[in-house]
Amino acid sequence: MRSDSAFSSESGVASANRSCPTQLTHATLEKEIQQLPALSVIVTEFLELIDRGDVELAVLMQKIGQDQALAARALRVVNSPFYGFSRRIASLKDAGMMLGVHTLRKIVVAAGIMGHFPSGEDQGFDRMTFWQHAIGTGVAAKVLASHCGLDGETAFTAGLLHDIGKLVMAVYFPADFDQVLACRNEQDCLLKDAEQAVLGFDHTLVGAKVARKWKMPKAIIEAIRHHHNPDSVTDKPFAALVHIADILCRGLEIGYGGDTLIPGLDVAAMQRLGLDWNLLLAALPQIEALNASANLLAEE
């Protein structure tokens, strides 16, 4: 893999062939996003229960248990190495008691979104490696958050969802995304630059709009929207954190987010978080070790 900071909207990418009309445009994006399927009823009702603030843990566990696939995926996340429990957590009740509502909320959201998309094959887009990269970025963000004084669970969810716009386009707008992939291949550019050339916007805008539709917290929406340009939002630490985690996972070749090129790391963003190269290097073994479970978490 090679680092790439030369490709931008001012390069030859901007003149990509657009002879085939696209259905997804900047003007229609908001309408199209609103017509996409909502999160599952179980996830939505679970979040509504939590937001009430006075619901008993047993009621929450009962709600998750109504969706066996969701419950199984949530337990898989709970039992992954980065939670580090000395024994296997066999029930949702135990998970809730040991993790607390705050952490459980983010796990259920992550599990619900990972199981949200209809099954199928996407031409030129590998969902398994996509989720491996997404989970890897979430894990890396969680590891680094402990050095920045940021909430680790928010960091994990933001990292997990940072590229969700790519998956939305691949699944729900395949003709448009095929043109993006063709542009990327022809121009040998970053996927986000191909998206700008073909569509006039990129996956960060799509992902942020979808996250807003799903009523994600503001910090997560901001991280999705700005993880490629954290310098434009210097007061949004999770955007900077996810930017760094994404670049690290690309360099470590954890999963595949659609690029063989690696964008440049925003050093100023790293410095704003109080991170340095020595700390990043020291964190790499832990990030790699924790990501050994990425295939397990991504399984159906």
Q: Domain map of the chain by residue range?
A: 38-115, 121-300
Share of the chain above pLDDT 90, in %: 42
pTM of the model: 0.84
- Does residue 141 surpass a pLDDT of 80? yes
The percent helix, strand, coil of the chain (3-state, each to 5) is: 65, 0, 30
- Does residue 36 surpass a pLDDT of 60? yes
Query: What pLDDT score does 59 carry?
Result: 87
Q: 121-300: what fold?
A: Hypothetical protein af1432 (1.10.3210)
pLDDT digits 0-9 by tens, 52-77: 777 788 888 888 889 888 888 778 87
At residue 298 the predicted structure's pLDDT band, cuts being 50, 70 and 90, is low
Q: Higher pLDDT residue, 236 or 293?
A: 236
- Does residue 30 surpass a pLDDT of 50? yes
CA distance 253 to 249: 6
Query: What pLDDT score does 293 carry?
Result: 57
pLDDT digits 0-9 by tens, 65-113: 898 888 887 788 788 776 778 888 888 888 888 888 777 887 788 888 8
Q: Which residues contact 243 (CB under 8 A, 6 or more apart)?
A: 226, 227, 228, 230, 265, 266, 269
Considering Cα of 4, then 145, then 258, then 193, what sign does the dihedral take?
negative
- Does residue 7 surpass a pLDDT of 70? no
- Does residue 299 surpass a pLDDT of 60? no
Residue 226 burial by Cβ neighbours in a 10 Å radius (0-12, 13-18, 19+): buried
What single letter denotes the amino acid at residue 67? D
Q: Higher pLDDT residue, 285 or 5?
A: 285
Q: Which residues contact 269 (CB under 8 A, 6 or more apart)?
A: 230, 231, 239, 240, 243, 244
Q: Which residues contact 195 (CB under 8 A, 6 or more apart)?
A: 180, 201, 202, 203
Structure tokens at 295: 């295939």
- Does residue 223 surpass a pLDDT of 70? yes
Q: Give me the residues paired with residue 262 across strands.
A: 3
When pLDDT is averaged across residues 128-136 and rounded to a whole number, the result is 89
At residue 189 the predicted structure's pLDDT band, cuts being 50, 70 and 90, is very high
- Does residue 23 surpass a pLDDT of 60? yes
Distances 263 to 90, 212, 234, 247, 288 between C-alpha atoms, Å: 41, 26, 19, 7, 20
Structure tokens at 74: 């949530």
Ranges 9-13, 78-82, 153-157, 255-259: which has the least confidence: 9-13
When pLDDT is averaged across residues 148-167 and rounded to a whole number, the result is 93
The label of the residue with tokens 């924790």 reads: 290
Angle between the 203-213 and 218-226 helix axes, to the nearest 10 degrees? 170
Q: Higher pLDDT residue, 213 or 54?
A: 213
